Structure 1
Amino acid sequence: MSDLERAVLLAIAEQCPEHGAALRQQVSSASVAQRENTGVGFYTKLRITDEPRMEGAPSPLGGIGADVDGMTYGMGFLLWLQDGVAETLEGYTYDDETVGLELSSLRCSNVGPRMSQVR
């Protein structure tokens, strides 16, 4: 996984303390099954080999944002679950494009609760 993907997933785990331990364990075993660049964001399909389920967790989990190198307004993120297991990380831009970006090498800073409005 990219540094961005891992940082966002761990931030989501911090945001959801009742499911955080299970999500952190899933993240520790996660790899990328597939990435799709939509032009205004991306979908990263995850392969999880250690599956302590997040019983009762809503899907999606999210509310996380990050400043991403090369983007004016950063990105927001949602984590989609299937039966309590992390399945797909969705990243979406606020006003930038992801066309031509190498998703696996995106770098970020200031990962945390999503911005309430475009700066």
Structure 2
Amino acid sequence: MNDLERHVIQQILTVEAADFSELTTQLSQLAVVSRHATGVGVYTNFSPTADLEPCHSCPSVMRLGQHVVAYIGAKESLGGFVLYVDDGIITTLEGYIYEGQWPDDALQHFRLH
């Protein structure tokens, strides 16, 4: 998991899922299995380690991220993220840009609010 993904997930969980602390512990137990660039964003898919405990208090389907705003790239393009949690396990992070193309320098330059 790269720094952008880690910071975004931590921010989303802090802002929108503080009641589900089990999700925060999953961060160290997730491996990136694929990334798919769409031109206007990117999907990062995760696979849990064998010993990962699902969040038993979480709803079976959660889509988080509506309260986190991102400024991505050196030009600070406005973007957002959606964190997918299925059956208590973080499965996917979707990043998107509102206008134009996903910046090539997104990993080097980003701010979250």
TM range (shorter): 0.7 to 0.9
TM-score with structure 1 setting the length: 0.78
The residue number in structure 1 matching 2:36 is 36
Could you tell me the TM-score, scaled by structure 2's length?
0.82
Instruction: Tell me how large the CA RMSD over aligned residues is.
Output: 2.1
Runs (4+) of structure 1 exceeding 3 A deviation are none
- Name the % identity: 33
Instruction: Extract unaligned runs of 5+ from structure 1.
Output: 113-119
Q: Quick check: 1:106 aligned with 2:107?
A: yes
Q: Give yes or no for the alignment of 1:70 onto 2:50.
A: no
How far off its partner does 1:65 sit?
Answer: 2.0
Which whole-Å CA distance do the structure 1 matches of 2:11 and 2:60 have between them? 16
Q: Is 1:84–2:88 an aligned residue pair?
A: yes
- Give the match for residue 52 of structure 1: 54
Question: Which letter does structure 2 place at the counterpart of 1:51?
Answer: E
Instruction: Provide the residue aligned with 1:117 in structure 2.
Output: none
Change (3 A) 1:72 1:96: farther
d(CA) in 2 for partners of 1:17 and 1:57? 17
Matched positions, count: 108
